[in-house]
Amino acid sequence: MDEILQQKLNVLKSYIKELGSLAVAYSGGVDSTFLIKVAHDVLKDKALAVTARSSTYPEREFNEAIKYIQEIGARHIVITSEELDIDGFSSNPIDRCYYCKKELFQKVWKVAKENGIDHIADGSNYDDLNDYRPGMKAAQELKVVSPLKFAKLTKKDIRALSKEMGLPTWDKPSFACLSSRIPYGELITREKLSMIDKAENFLIELGFRQLRVRHHGNIARIELGEKDYDKILNKDLMKKIAAKLKDIGFTYVTLDLEGYRTGSMNEVLKERAETVKNFV
């Protein structure tokens, strides 16, 4: 193992050991799977994974989370956290994630206390410091620790270590809440979330890996990772995808020429900030 990676891993293990007990907000993604694995290795039964089910969390992801945690062997509790019932969430403000994370962390804290756990953690990594993450405010307010950030572990580091440790998530595509597919200010509904979920599941079944289906009213904007560019440029396949997404409820189906990128819905925030800056 790379010496720098080993040092970061040692920092992470020492930090978790000092905590003594830890409940991890576990989604089954690359980061939280790696974190609960290390926490379980260090703390054994003093480590607890807590997974929240909701309409913003696809059943596909939930089933994978269950599978991974069983392989790790850590304690696991499933809770319900319905974001659409949270005041201020459905209207989709730019700080939407703050309301979601606050609700989630409050529920994770409740489970932690009921099980004699002294700390709760999220899976934020060092790269997240460079993106717009209003959920971090909720984490700070509720004293949620971020061990991966503390150890300065980037997504690339976590994937490398996960591969070294034999975790099946080491090359899993990045995932985010389905609400992140809807532009800020546009109402989040169960119908829209269901449309997005069905569309993305269809693309995954076709063999596409890193993807997003952004919901713009009656338009579906598909973002794909670079490795899928050649695959999508097939006339019959494009017709098949368009027909399916129209059947799901979209009127128009488009392909984003810039492809997949993390937080593409945040680009409008940067544009607004730049406009204000130039105006002033």
- Which residues belong to the active site? 177
Nearest-angstrom CA–CA distance, 198 and 236: 20
In contact, 245 and 201? CB cutoff 8 Å: no
- Interatomic CA distance for residues 72 and 275, integer angstroms: 48
Tell me the torsion sign for CA atoms 96, 103, 123, 63.
negative
What single letter denotes the amino acid at residue 194?
S
In degrees, rounded to 5, the angle at the alpha carbon of residue 52 between the alpha carbons of residues 113 and 55 is 150
What would the two tokens of residue 155 be?
Answer: 């997504």
**150 in the Ramachandran plot: left (φ > 0), alpha (ψ -120 to 50) or beta?**
alpha
Look up tokens 């004293």; give the residue.
143
CB 249 within 8 A of CB 168: no
| Contact indicator for 208, 228 with CB cutoff of 8 Å | yes
